[in-house]
């Protein structure tokens, strides 16, 4: 009976791991193709600096907008989270496969 329970738990762990892997790949794909937006984690302000002009005036030049920088950082953190979930799903699936696999021991004398 113990042998059968280990296989059932192994198949459950394998299924959970595969679902975690495919869902993280699907969610990451949707964010990077623009089908959905990553969760907004940060709110940066615009990066700009002043350039002195002749006559004492200065002009402000914007390097990158805060909205774009916030989106890039959010996408990086979203990618890291999805990679972690994918890695965890692989480890869980690996545990499931180890429980499913039958171990045979041969003793030679």
Q: Which of 86, 96, 94 is nearest to 26 (CA)?
A: 86
Does pLDDT of 90 surpass 90? yes
Q: Do the domain assignments include residue 107?
A: no
pLDDT in tens, 5-42: 888 999 999 999 999 999 999 999 998 888 888 888 88
Lowest mean pLDDT among 24-28, 57-61, 98-102: 57-61
**56 within a domain of the structure (yes/no):** yes
Of 6, 25, 15, 1, which is closest to residue 93 (Cα–Cα)? Answer: 15
Q: Which domain holds residue 90?
A: 1-38+85-102
CB atoms within 10 A of CB 100: 15
- Claim: this prediction has a pTM higher than 0.95: no
Given this model, what pLDDT does residue 16 score? 96
- Whether residues 28 and 51 share a domain: the answer is no
Do 72 and 97 share a domain, yes or no?
no
Is 68 within a domain? yes
Look at the chain and report how many structural domains it folds into: 2
Question: Is the residue at 18 inside a domain?
Answer: yes
Question: Distance between CA 66 and CA 79 in Å, rounded?
Answer: 20
- The answer to whether residues 33 and 43 belong to one domain is no
């Amino acid at each position: 009976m113990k042998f059968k329970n280990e296989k059932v738990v192994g198949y459950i762990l394998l299924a959970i791991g595969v679902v975690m892997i495919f869902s993280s790949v699907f969610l990451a794909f949707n964010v990077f193709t623009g089908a959905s937006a990553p969760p907004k984690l940060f709110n940066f302000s615009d990066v700009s600096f002043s350039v002195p002009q002749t006559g004492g005036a200065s002009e402000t030049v914007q390097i990158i907008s805060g909205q774009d920088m916030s989106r890039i950082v959010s996408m990086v953190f979203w990618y890291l989270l999805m990679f972690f979930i994918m890695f965890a799903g692989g480890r869980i699936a690996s545990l499931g496969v180890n429980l499913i696999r039958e171990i045979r021991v041969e003793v030679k004398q």
